[in-house]
Structure 1
Amino acid sequence: MELKVTRYEVDDAGVATVWLHRPERRNSWTGRMHDEFRWICAQLENDPMVRVIVLTGTGTTFCIGADPKALSGYVGREHYDPGLSAEPANPGYGVRPEFDSDLAWQLGLRKPMIAAVNGACAGIAVALAAFCDLRFAVAGAKFTTAAPKLGLPAEYGLSWILPRLIGMTHTTDVLFTGRVVRAEEFDRMGFLNGVFPAEEFDAAVRTYAHRLAAVSPASVTSAKRQIWADALSPDARAAVEESKRLIGTMMREPDYKEGVAAFLGRREPSFRPGREQA
């Protein structure tokens, strides 16, 4: 696919960075961006050398949501810009039926995804960040769902994901009012994993991503699967029993052997690529 509104690269440690890339339009979301983003993530998901995906925006904005100039053109329609293809790439699909949808597919990826919110984050971009596994923001970044001010519902699963991240009390405030929430307040609510000054932001996120890339890919994928399976289940016993089953399986794998050898040898482990769980 020819990439016009996104770009990506992968470093030697297996950390992939994906940029929403419309700086002249503050990285506003379009159907083409939707399709390109899914296509990129499909490539990264299938690349055994990739261990972590970092999602950010070009310049000093993450994404301001739907293109403001296009909003009036959507009046009377039932959807936003439909994109390039009726059948975009489907990374993360097939893991659980609950994840086979726009944005929710991010929960089905084997690779952990970090949202590096480097500036304004509005509308669909809040959902985009929410469905990432981890979220960091630059100090002072502004977040808003915007929907109540546009006469729209809670968009793209925010009514499902936000209560699981920040609780019902904060969710009702954020979704009912559509008010601007600064990064520092969102951090206190529990939406973010950290907030960093602008001059430290890129390095801090990069350091965290490389730390994550150094642990067992199989362990990260397994934990991600467990977290969301257990979030969708009320059965604590099933969670314990499934973890015991996974322990028995993964103790026979090379990552466990390497992890033990590194621990006993007082060195850092070196996990080979391509060991993610299905």
Structure 2
Amino acid sequence: MSEAPHSTYEVKDGIGLITLNRPDKLNAWTAEMEQGVKRAIGQAVKDDAVRAIIITGAGRGFCAGADMNLLQKITPEGERRNIVNKDEEEAVDVSSDFGPSVLEHFEGRFGYLFECPKPVIAAINGPCAGLGMVFTLFCDMRFASTDAKFTTAFSQRGLVAEHGIAWLLPRLVGSAHALDLLLSARKVPGEEAERMGLVNKTFSADAFMDNVMDYARHLAGNVSPRSMAVMKRQVYKSLFQDFNVSTDMADKEMQKSFSSDDFKEGVAHFVEKRAANFKGR
């Protein structure tokens, strides 16, 4: 396990597990946490043993949003507005030879998560607010504990829909639900979040991480890493394409896949009725 000031990273069963680690502060977001998470994502991308990434919170919360001590230091001119100044952002290499790059479309602070070629799962184990909730929208999937509660929080702080949430949230839950969540800043339990499409699935608190890990192990052990990398970028790239352009892109990527080792293995393990042994090539 590696530790940053406010996060930890470990690899188990083909899964890169990142934990936000300020349990006494409900994992309120800090510059150190942001940098640590970004470094861990970079490590996971370059590690062939890692097939999927899970991000969760230590203790009883996922992330309470931006650290209030930092918010109190913001001036009317907007100084110290960003937790991490742009010129201090951690450089992270999430490049991949598979699929089209999407970085040009997602230039914000968490856009690198969409470019990451490995699936990123938010395991939301408890309260998830403000910037913490925004962060989960940049993950590819969200699973919530029955102990989880969500709030955008911005309107109750005199703020607005920041960091891309005004673009991302309506695409997940529709404009009516998005406006409800943004304007009211009410607290939404995990089960309601699942019904509106904010999270993929809710699990009982006592078996939450077991269920999330089981899903991630399935990705790590049974499907092609190459296929996942290409399809993830196809989905995000298609948000900016019409149907014909998206289909043409798919046709070209399919031709490339026919010459891949993972395609050969995909056919072979099915015909031979054995477990798959994908290499991500």
Instruction: Pick the TM interval, shorter chain.
Output: over 0.9
Partner of 1:222: 230
Deviation per CA, 1:38-72: give whole Å up to 9, x if none. 11111111112211000000111100001234432
1:88 to 74, 84, 90: 90
**TM-score (normalised: structure 2):** 0.91
**Structure 1 residue matching 2:4: 3-state secondary structure:** coil
Shift of 1:31: 1.2
Give yes or no for the alignment of 1:249 onto 2:256: yes
Deviation per CA, 1:138-175: give whole Å up to 9, x if none. 00411001000011111211001111111111111111
Structure 2: runs of 5+ lacking an equivalent: 96-100
Shift of 1:4: 1.1
- Distance between the aligned counterparts of 1:100 and 1:73, measured in 2? 26
Partner of 1:151: 158
Quick one: structure 1 residues 80 and 246, their matched pair in 2 at CA, closer, same or farther if it must change by over 3 Å?
A: closer
Shift of 1:87: 3.6
Quick one: structure 1 residues 92 and 10, their matched pair in 2 at CA, closer, same or farther if it must change by over 3 Å?
A: same
- Distance between the aligned counterparts of 1:161 and 1:217, measured in 2? 25
- Distance between the aligned counterparts of 1:15 and 1:143, measured in 2? 26
**TM-score (normalised: structure 1):** 0.92
Partner of 2:142: 135
Quick one: structure 1 residues 91 and 154, their matched pair in 2 at CA, closer, same or farther if it must change by over 3 Å?
A: farther
Structure 1 stretches of 4+ with a deviation exceeding 6 A read: none
Shift of 1:199: 0.8
Partner of 2:98: none
Shift of 1:92: 4.0
Structure 1: runs of 5+ lacking an equivalent: none
Supply the RMSD in Å over aligned alpha carbons. 1.8
Quick one: structure 1 residues 86 and 187, their matched pair in 2 at CA, closer, same or farther if it must change by over 3 Å?
A: same
User: How many correspondences in the alignment?
Assistant: 272
Give yes or no for the alignment of 1:31 onto 2:31: yes
Among all aligned residue pairs of Structure 1 and Structure 2, give the percentage whose two residues are the same amino acid. Answer: 38
2:211 to 204, 207, 226: 204
**Structure 2 residue matching 1:73: 3-state secondary structure:** coil
- Distance between the aligned counterparts of 2:94 and 2:115, measured in 1? 4
Give yes or no for the alignment of 1:3 onto 2:11: no
Contact 2:125 2:147 in 1 (8 A): no
